[in-house]
Amino acid sequence: MRIVLIGAGRLATHLGPALKGAGHEIVQVYSRTAEAASALATAVSAEPVTDIDRVTREADVYICALKDSVLPTLLPQLCKGREEALFLHTAGSVPLQVFEGYARRYGVLYPMQTFSKERRLDFSEIPVFIEAESATTFPVVESLASSVSQNVRPLSSADRRYLHLSAVFACNFVNHCYDLAGQLLQEHGIPFDTLLPLIDETARKVHELSPRQAQTGPAVRYDENVINAQSQLLNGLSKDIYDLLSRSIHECSSQSEASEPVIVSSLQN
């Protein structure tokens, strides 16, 4: 397929080479920033474009990998005069219906992964969630997604919102806790890599146990002596986060205990 990438950010930086590697032709890369457009265009042998009016009308697919807030303002201009093309967006929280009234054929191609330009990923291992406006368009979106990923799944806009929200908890919030931990360590001259074995084992455990089963620490049993002592070492938002998470962990653990069946011994004295 002949593809135009609308956006040259972190996701597009990974998706573009994956599409090219799958045999698709990346015709153009559009970005408002010339440097970003040129960097990605060079990587995928495409033409960099910074003016939306210069985006070709000859492509088969236009993939919008943009900030959620930018997409609705760009679509009227982008879709005009391209009635036969397929338009896709890659956002977790933007509904399929954002294209209504602008495009005839459209869908969603949402790769659920955290992307950084500095790190290479095997795109074939990334789960990609797809949706389309019709049963006719769906196989085209599925084929395109399957050309870059071995894990393609249909998912509605309504459910995709919750998937994206869960990803925020599992990735962004967890990484922020790494940052808070790193700041504490730095203040006391302890290198962050001291935590890496702990971080790695925590991630490995949830491949075999549920997150609730894998939970450890003073908040599970609500050891107030430890919790209060640690809380007093903090201030501001860090203290609020610590207190709130400790309470949440304890409440979740208490719910698990309450739901477990009571085992009564059959042995009688």
- pLDDT surpasses 80 at 24: yes
Average pLDDT over residues 94-121: 95
Do the beta carbons of residue 156 and residue 138 sit within 8 Å?
Answer: no
Which residues have a Cβ under 8 Å from the Cβ of 43 and sit 6 or more positions away? 13, 16, 17
Instruction: Look at residue 151 and tell me whether its pLDDT is greater than 70.
Output: yes
- Per residue in 167-224, pLDDT tens? 999 999 999 999 999 999 999 999 999 999 999 999 999 999 999 999 999 999 889 9
Residue 267 has pLDDT above 70, yes or no: no
Closest alpha carbon to 24 in 105, 109, 115: 109
Quick check: 152 pLDDT over 70?
yes
Mean pLDDT of 53-72: 93
Note the Cα 63 to chain centre separation in Å: 17
User: SS3 for 145-181, per residue?
Assistant: HHCCCCCEEECCHHHHHHHHHHHHHHHHHHHHHHHHH
How confident is the model at residue 68, as a pLDDT? 87
What is the distance between the alpha carbons of residues 145 and 129, in angstroms, rounded to a whole number?
8
Percent of the chain with pLDDT over 70: 95
Identity at 167, one-letter amino acid code: A
Look at the pTM and tell me if it is higher than 0.75.
yes
Say which range, 78-92, 153-167, 247-261, has the weakest mean pLDDT. Answer: 247-261
The pLDDT confidence band at residue 256, using thresholds 50, 70 and 90, is low
Q: What is the pLDDT of residue 67?
A: 86
Residue 261's pLDDT is what? 43
